[in-house]
A and B are shown apart, each in its own frame.
Chain A
């Protein structure tokens, strides 16, 4: 074949045919989270002038020789409250969006969420159990994380037949496992004491970044970043996997291995996110859909795009949670209140996103 085809010069611009997103798009997608991140540090009920924010960051992060001219309170607000919160929002937003995009590719369905295998149901149950058992904060987080992993493991091994895990089996057993853990969660709520524990469980499940500390961040950053890197590196294989298992195998892809790796990475991200921030719905569904409109369906560019846009989006929503009303609105409520109509709009606009 090649002796016939190899000589001719290609007369067209392949970049144009490939519909690669323009540099401008990338720059805008990068500016979106970065700007929001910086703005977040100025915003809040406690006024901090921008120059103080920059001076504090310069001294603390870059170790610049700046003399302290601000109060301790200001420093605490910026370094211990706003900074970890903004970083966590960016990490979780990026992680959930990448997980959503990966699952949508793997499940060959643009409407799937990262929670489809039961991770959120499992983690919610774990957290509620931790709250009822009066564990310390770290214990609750660990319970949530572990039960998230356990739920997905049950789903995976239920779906595995004859050494393969068909997509349909995964979705169905995910539904079964989710329902089971949701019922167990209801049982715990039913048995929990009405005055203290039931409201604590309810608020916890609504999701919030309000209590994120530097220590939390220190624990969460590694698993999320490692898993995000994993998903990023596998992004091209997602294109092949989205053509179906049979074709992926014919193209030399060990589809079972790739599927298992993607499930492991997304589960670590989702479990960590739920453990530290509660249930944050809709981000993992809306952002990949939105990004597909901007950069097209190729996962090679879609995955990095969801990372940037997802990070910015969650920082933005978290700011609204903090600033919209006198008392903070739980994050999970706003992501859904904003996410659901946006998703409905996108669905109508893309007519289901299939074509």
Chain B
């Protein structure tokens, strides 16, 4: 399998003295779903912003399709990497279809507006994700979970090769978490290369094929889910005793973990 995204000897620092993390090496192969796991403040989001090109690394480099991300133009990068940001409200009540259609931007010329085909593609993608009923609704009047799904549809509209998710389930309730995770799982099963940050370890078992666990002292462990998701590693990353439980269901074993807070 071809390596779609790799990070080599990366180091980042906000103040040029203390690095947030250093010696980060990561590789994501085509079709993998990498979960970037770690506690609040460990630098997950910083690493995420470096991968999206919004923050410059102090040293090291990031390659997309074996090409340094600094050599990508904004448009080229948007055609290759799609980013699903945490949902937020927009200042204007655009229809959800309009928001999804914005995903066509990298494929349009500077002065072009989306064509009928672009609109149809946007609608088809919404249909495919099961959110066609939201198409005519205002993006500002739907729930947080629905907005997150609309943003996923927008990213698919970009037709990227890799999709990055930034904490896609934070501030969502159980049902909406499930909806979003199910969508991510579906994309992953279709072969999309995915990187997602999360601070819910349980979600890694649901969607991840690979995990990189960041702690306050840098990378704790990385590799296949079964190898990395151990009580020892989780305890080290989060700085609190964590127990992994196993339960069986119709489809197989379910793993979940919980901090030992007593």
Instruction: Report which A residues bind B (CB closer than 8 A).
Output: 1, 4-6, 8, 10, 12, 14, 16-19, 105, 108-110, 233-237, 239-240, 242-243, 246-247, 249-254, 292, 296-298, 300, 354-355
Partner of A17, one of B52, B110, B113, B136: B136
Interface pair A251/B113, CB less than 8 Å apart: no
Q: Give the residues in chain B near A254, CB-CB below 8 Å.
A: 74
Interface pair A236/B78, CB less than 8 Å apart: no
Interface pair A355/B138, CB less than 8 Å apart: yes
Interface pair B120/A10, CB less than 8 Å apart: yes
Interface pair B102/A110, CB less than 8 Å apart: no
Given contacts A8-B127, A10-B123, A19-B95, A250 and B102 within 8 Å (CB-CB): no
Interface pair A108/B85, CB less than 8 Å apart: no
Interface pair B141/A355, CB less than 8 Å apart: yes
Interface pair B113/A250, CB less than 8 Å apart: no
List 19 extra interface pairs beyond A250-B52, A297-B92, A355-B140, CB under 8 A.
A1-B156, A8-B124, A10-B123, A12-B135, A17-B95, A18-B95, A19-B95, A108-B91, A236-B108, A240-B102, A240-B105, A242-B90, A243-B90, A250-B82, A251-B78, A251-B102, A251-B103, A253-B74, A300-B113
- Tell me, rounded to whole Å, the shortest Cβ–Cβ distance linking B197 to chain A: 15
**Which residue of A19, A249, A250, A355 has the most chain B CB atoms within 10 A of its CB atom?**
A250
Interface pair B158/A251, CB less than 8 Å apart: yes
Total number of residue pairs linking A and B with CB closer than 8 Å: 114
Q: Give the residues in chain A near B223, CB-CB below 8 Å.
A: none
Residue of A nearest to B116 (CB): A14
Measured between alpha carbons, how far is A355 from B89 in the docked complex, in Å?
Answer: 9
Q: Give the residues in chain A near B106, CB-CB below 8 Å.
A: 251-252
Q: Give the residues in chain B near A354, CB-CB below 8 Å.
A: 89, 91, 93, 140
Instruction: Report which B residues bind A (CB closer than 8 A).
Output: 52-54, 74-75, 77-79, 82-83, 85, 89-95, 97-99, 102-103, 105-106, 108, 110-114, 116, 119-120, 123-125, 127-128, 132, 135-136, 138, 140-141, 156, 158-159, 190, 192
Interface pair A297/B113, CB less than 8 Å apart: no
Interface pair B120/A247, CB less than 8 Å apart: no
Given contacts A5-B128, A355-B141, A253 and B105 within 8 Å (CB-CB): yes
> Can you name 19 A-B pairs with beta carbons within 8 Å?
A1-B190, A14-B120, A17-B95, A17-B97, A17-B135, A18-B95, A236-B113, A237-B105, A240-B102, A242-B92, A243-B90, A250-B78, A254-B74, A296-B93, A298-B94, A298-B98, A354-B91, A354-B140, A355-B138
Given contacts A240-B105, A355-B93, A252 and B113 within 8 Å (CB-CB): no
Given contacts A8-B124, A16-B136, A252 and B98 within 8 Å (CB-CB): no
Interface pair A252/B78, CB less than 8 Å apart: yes
Partner of A18, one of B54, B74, B77, B119: B119
Measured between alpha carbons, how far is A10 from B132 in the docked complex, in Å?
Answer: 11
Q: Give the residues in chain B near A251, CB-CB below 8 Å.
A: 78, 102-103, 105-106, 158
- Tell me, rounded to whole Å, the shortest Cβ–Cβ distance linking A131 to chain B: 40
- Tell me, rounded to whole Å, the shortest Cβ–Cβ distance linking B87 to chain A: 11
Interface pair A297/B94, CB less than 8 Å apart: yes
Measured between alpha carbons, how far is A298 from B112 in the docked complex, in Å?
Answer: 15
- Tell me, rounded to whole Å, the shortest Cβ–Cβ distance linking A198 to chain B: 42
Residue of A nearest to B141 (CB): A355
Residue of A nearest to B104 (CB): A251
Interface pair A237/B85, CB less than 8 Å apart: no
Q: Give the residues in chain B near A246, CB-CB below 8 Å.
A: 54, 85
Q: Give the residues in chain A near B128, CB-CB below 8 Å.
A: 1, 4-5
Residue of A nearest to B132 (CB): A12
Partner of A236, one of B52, B89, B93, B112: B112
Q: Give the residues in chain B near A18, CB-CB below 8 Å.
A: 95, 97-98, 119, 136
Residue of A nearest to B98 (CB): A298
Measured between alpha carbons, how far is A130 from B113 in the docked complex, in Å?
Answer: 43
Measured between alpha carbons, how far is A253 from B93 in the docked complex, in Å?
Answer: 21
Measured between alpha carbons, how far is A345 from B80 in the docked complex, in Å?
Answer: 46
Interface pair B91/A242, CB less than 8 Å apart: yes
Measured between alpha carbons, how far is A201 from B231 in the docked complex, in Å?
Answer: 77
- Tell me, rounded to whole Å, the shortest Cβ–Cβ distance linking B224 to chain A: 26
- Tell me, rounded to whole Å, the shortest Cβ–Cβ distance linking B81 to chain A: 8
- Tell me, rounded to whole Å, the shortest Cβ–Cβ distance linking A146 to chain B: 29
Measured between alpha carbons, how far is A294 from B89 in the docked complex, in Å?
Answer: 22
Q: Give the residues in chain B near A108, CB-CB below 8 Å.
A: 91
Q: Give the residues in chain A near B85, CB-CB below 8 Å.
A: 246-247, 250
**Which residue of B91, B127, B128 has the most chain A CB atoms within 10 A of its CB atom?**
B91
Q: Give the residues in chain B near A12, CB-CB below 8 Å.
A: 123, 132, 135
Partner of B74, one of A17, A239, A252: A252
- Tell me, rounded to whole Å, the shortest Cβ–Cβ distance linking A226 to chain B: 14
Q: Give the residues in chain A near B116, CB-CB below 8 Å.
A: 14
Residue of A nearest to B128 (CB): A5
Measured between alpha carbons, how far is A246 from B164 in the docked complex, in Å?
Answer: 14
Interface pair B136/A243, CB less than 8 Å apart: no
Measured between alpha carbons, how far is A297 from B99 in the docked complex, in Å?
Answer: 12
Measured between alpha carbons, how far is A58 from B50 in the docked complex, in Å?
Answer: 65
Q: Give the residues in chain B near A296, CB-CB below 8 Å.
A: 93, 95
Q: Give the residues in chain A near B90, CB-CB below 8 Å.
A: 242-243
Measured between alpha carbons, how far is A296 from B83 in the docked complex, in Å?
Answer: 27
Interface pair A17/B111, CB less than 8 Å apart: no
Interface pair B98/A239, CB less than 8 Å apart: yes
